[in-house]
Structure 1
Amino acid sequence: MLNYSKSTGIVAIAATLVSGLAAPSAHAGEVLDKIKDRARVTVCTNVNNPPNVFLDSSGTAKGMQVDLMEDMKGQLGKVVGKDLAIELVPTLPANRVEFLDRGKCDMIFTSLTVTPERQKLIQFVEPYYYAAGPGLQTKKGVELKSWDDVRGKPICSNQGSSWNVPLERDYGVTIVAFQTQQEVDQSLRDGRCIALVSDDSYLQARFLTDKDGVWKDFEIQKLPAFSEGPWGLAVKFGDADLQKALSDITTEWHASGKVIDTAKKWGFTPPKFSYDMQDKYKKQ
């Protein structure tokens, strides 16, 4: 079992402990009423995703997304008129949508890319709060000045990565795809490809948390993202009041520059998306 942290007001518990929660019906207002009654927001997230969300040696949740959750907690507390705590419900990509649908959490707050397929299953809150683009990791000494420099070259990637098709189609890359990230990493080490491609935020996190120097002989190429996939908070369909409250919160995050400041605090290079959103909402 994960520990409760009084210093942050975050509760992190094993998923099995919340299995008894009843799934809420999806009419406006009910979920906010539940949040008020229990004085707690339940959030499905990946608790092993540093420096977005992770648990320190005392079991305290920390990270960029945790800081944003803390702000969200305060703002939702004003909406319901009560001080709130946050309960982190540990999830994986394979079960987070199911957990939300079954009522094990009030929302999903993680590095969840908005896709047409996911939009059929869950309600994404707009505006989206962050974004990730493609990044290339190479051995040190490889110099790539533009995406055109990878034309005709092998790039290691995960099967099904959203970056595979545009790289093959627009840049003539030969994608060498594997089922696991471990295989992708090893193939780069073995020289089977000039680079590996992944979300730039994932690669940044990899180097920010590389305390053992696993990647000391590698680097991220400084190339502008040719596309960015937005990340969104997600709730159940029909949850209109909670959706509106979260929309107001993410709008304020962009207008105030909070997302940019929080990303920088944890060592991330904020995406162009964040600066564009700040410009958009500052003017409204």
Structure 2
Amino acid sequence: MNKLTQMRSIVAFSATAGFVFAALSAQAGPVTDKVKERGRIAVCTNVNNPPNVFIDSSGKAQGMQVDLMNDMKASLEGKMGKPLEIELVPTLPANRVEFLDRGKCDMIFTSLTVTPERQKLIQFIEPYYYAAGPGLQTKKGVSLKSWADLKGKSVCSNQGSSWNVPLERDYGVKIIAFQTQQEVDQSLRDGRCIGLVSDDSYLQARFLTDKDGIWKDFEIQKLPAFTEGPWGLAIKFGDADFEKDLSDIVIAWHRKGTVIEAAKKWGFTPPKFSEDMQQKYKAN
């Protein structure tokens, strides 16, 4: 039995925290009415993605995105006038859109980057709630003042990474791309590249959770992001009420600085996107 299958078989971890874990088929009908009727909202997410979402030793869901889910739950409870639980449906990048389409969950809440391709498949909630930019991990002692300092140098990356094209086109970087993250990591250790590029949030999480010191001889370069990819909550097309409810919640997060506070609590450096969104909605 693989890990995902094991996670699906768990019925409940922490009822007192308002979370249950399952992969039950959602019923037909408007999501808002369905959630109110059953007292539960099913959320597709990656449950093994610390410190965004993870299960602690007591079986309780923890993490930055879990804090935001709790706030979302409280807002929906206020709208519906009844207590709710959050049903975490374990997913991976390869199946989360499929699970939403099949009705196994009511929404996707994870580190889901908004792309034109995905916008054709699912309804992203606007405004978007977070963003990730490019980060560069190198061995300690490497000195870089800007992305331009990488001109002519080799950087390891994943095939299809959204950062590959701008690095090659705008900064003259030689991208060495691999299919798996393990290959990218090993190539950096072997010195085949000066650094590896990935989402800055992913790299921050890597170092925040490195209890065994696997990356003790490495660091993240302090380079400004040359672009940011927004993350969005996502639902099926055609549910205007649920879309409006979630949009109002995300707007409130930005106005109150909820996302920034949650990010800092879990050790992340909030992206410029979050600061810009707070200023935008505080002014409205």
TM-score grouping bracket, smaller chain normalisation: over 0.9
Asked if 1:8 is matched to 2:25, the reply is: no
Percent of residue pairs bearing the same amino acid type: 77
Deviation at 1:261, TM superposition (A): 0.4
Asked if 1:257 is matched to 2:257, the reply is: yes
Unaligned runs of 5+ in 1: none
Please give the per-residue CA displacement for 1:116-143, whole angstroms capped at 9, x wherever unaligned. Answer: 0000000000000000000000000001
* C-alpha distance in structure 2 between counterparts of 1:240 and 1:49, whole Å: 30
Shift >4 Å, 4+ stretches: none
Unaligned runs of 5+ in 2: 1-8
2:113 aligns to what? 113
* C-alpha distance in structure 2 between counterparts of 1:8 and 1:136, whole Å: 37
Equivalent AA in structure 2 for residue 193 of structure 1:
C
2:277 aligns to what? 277
SS in 1 for 2:111: coil
Please give the per-residue CA displacement for 1:58-111, whole angstroms capped at 9, x wherever unaligned. Answer: 221100000000000010111222110000000011110011111110100000
* C-alpha distance in structure 1 between counterparts of 2:178 and 2:186, whole Å: 10
User: RMSD over aligned Cα, in angstroms?
Assistant: 0.9
My pick for the range that moved more, 262-271 or 79-88, is 79-88
1:202 aligns to what? 202
* C-alpha distance in structure 1 between counterparts of 2:255 and 2:26, whole Å: 35
1:123 aligns to what? 123
SS in 1 for 2:87: strand
* C-alpha distance in structure 2 between counterparts of 1:240 and 1:55, whole Å: 32
Question: So what's the TM-score if we normalise by structure 2?
Answer: 0.95
Deviation at 1:256, TM superposition (A): 0.2
2:167 aligns to what? 167
* C-alpha distance in structure 1 between counterparts of 2:280 and 2:224, whole Å: 21
SS in 2 for 1:4: coil
* C-alpha distance in structure 2 between counterparts of 1:218 and 1:79, whole Å: 47
Please give the per-residue CA displacement for 1:144-173, whole angstroms capped at 9, x wherever unaligned. Answer: 110111011000000000000000000000
1:267 aligns to what? 267
* C-alpha distance in structure 2 between counterparts of 1:265 and 1:37, whole Å: 34
2:4 aligns to what? none
Deviation at 1:6, TM superposition (A): 3.1
1:148 aligns to what? 148
Please give the per-residue CA displacement for 1:30-78, whole angstroms capped at 9, x wherever unaligned. Answer: 1100000000010000000000000011221100000000000010111
* C-alpha distance in structure 2 between counterparts of 1:69 and 1:11, whole Å: 13
Tell me, yes or no, if the aligned pair for 2:64 and 2:263 is still in contact at 8 Å. Answer: yes
Tell me, yes or no, if the aligned pair for 2:26 and 2:106 is still in contact at 8 Å. Answer: no
Question: So what's the TM-score if we normalise by structure 1?
Answer: 0.95
Tell me, yes or no, if the aligned pair for 1:55 and 1:62 is still in contact at 8 Å. Answer: yes
Asked if 1:221 is matched to 2:221, the reply is: yes
2:5 aligns to what? none
* C-alpha distance in structure 1 between counterparts of 2:17 and 2:132, whole Å: 27
Give the length in aligned residue pairs: 275
Deviation at 1:7, TM superposition (A): 3.8
2:187 aligns to what? 187
Asked if 1:211 is matched to 2:211, the reply is: yes
